[in-house]
């Protein structure tokens, strides 16, 4: 129970929506819920900066967060854009090192925060939590490898298609054979930051993807076809 209320099936479903906890039993999820804290940040708030001490992780329930690194000269590279249902800041639970990147709220956000002492207490009583975290970190490492390969080896049009396809998978849970048009609330500036490219070049890449029927644009929304994005990536990778 948390706040005097019993832990319900809907509470369990909520916590299982976060990848590290998706296979955990209800009693374990209830223990995590009891020790976590809910926090709210306004748009533009910095949750933590690169180099800050880190002893807590975040499970985002509402809003969007940008995770980036900056050079001494002021150039910025977006590493991830965090959407609801994703976790971040988890490395601080394990190695005790300072934060490796800066996290900034792109919109007003609400999130669960779990501290390092509470995480250790939880894994001592429920070792299956650590198993779930390791599986999730392995998945994240593979995604990071794919991202590095895409940025280093693919032309910009293919990199843009790859990023949109990854976003579709994360937000809608679809695979590369999906032939239904799906919306993404994302703009060119965000894509440019993520791919380390200029906005005009990203605009040109989106025009190319529009011509082949993979993308349709409407304001800050993109209507995407996962199957055609995947086909375009394959064609441009040959």
pLDDT of residue 175: 73
Cβ neighbours of residue 81 closer than 8 Å, sequence gap 6 or more: 64, 65, 66, 67, 106, 186, 190, 194
Per the rule left: phi > 0, alpha: psi between -120 and 50, beta: everything else, 51 is left
Could you tell me the mean pLDDT of each successive run of 10 residues in the chain, 238 residues long?
A: 69 94 95 96 96 94 91 76 92 87 96 96 96 92 79 85 83 73 76 83 92 84 88 87
CB-based contact 27:49 (threshold 8 Å): no
pLDDT of residue 31: 96
pLDDT of residue 4: 52
Look up tokens 């609400």; give the residue: 110
CB-based contact 232:161 (threshold 8 Å): yes
Q: At what angle do helices 199-211 and 188-195 cross, to 10 degrees?
A: 110
Rounded Cα–Cα distance for residues 50 and 102 (Å): 5
pLDDT of residue 193: 76
Rounded Cα–Cα distance for residues 193 and 237 (Å): 22
**pTM of structure:** 0.75
CB-based contact 112:58 (threshold 8 Å): yes
């Amino acid at each position: 129970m948390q706040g005097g209320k019993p832990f319900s099936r809907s509470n369990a479903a909520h916590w299982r929506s976060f990848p590290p906890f998706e296979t955990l039993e209800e009693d374990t999820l209830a223990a995590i819920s009891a020790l976590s804290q809910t926090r709210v940040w306004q748009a533009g708030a910095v949750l933590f900066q690169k180099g800050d001490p880190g002893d807590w992780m975040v499970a985002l329930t509402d809003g969007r967060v940008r995770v980036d690194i900056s050079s001494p000269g002021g150039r910025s590279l977006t590493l991830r854009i965090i959407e609801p249902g994703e976790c971040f800041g988890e490395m601080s639970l394990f190695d005790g090192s300072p934060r490796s990147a800066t996290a900034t709220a792109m919109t007003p956000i609400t999130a669960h925060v779990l501290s390092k002492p509470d995480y250790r207490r939880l894994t001592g009583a429920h070792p299956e939590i650590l198993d779930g975290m390791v599986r999730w970190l392995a998945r994240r490492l593979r995604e990071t490898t794919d991202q590095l390969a895409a940025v280093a080896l693919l032309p910009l049009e293919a990199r843009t298609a790859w990023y949109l396809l990854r976003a579709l998978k994360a937000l809608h849970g679809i695979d590369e054979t999906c032939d239904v048009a799906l919306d993404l609330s994302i703009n060119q500036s965000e894509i440019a930051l993520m791919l380390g490219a200029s906005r005009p070049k990203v605009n040109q890449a989106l025009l190319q993807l529009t011509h082949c029927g993979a993308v349709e644009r409407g304001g800050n929304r993109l209507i995407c076809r996962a199957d055609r994005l995947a086909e375009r990536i394959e064609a441009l990778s040959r």
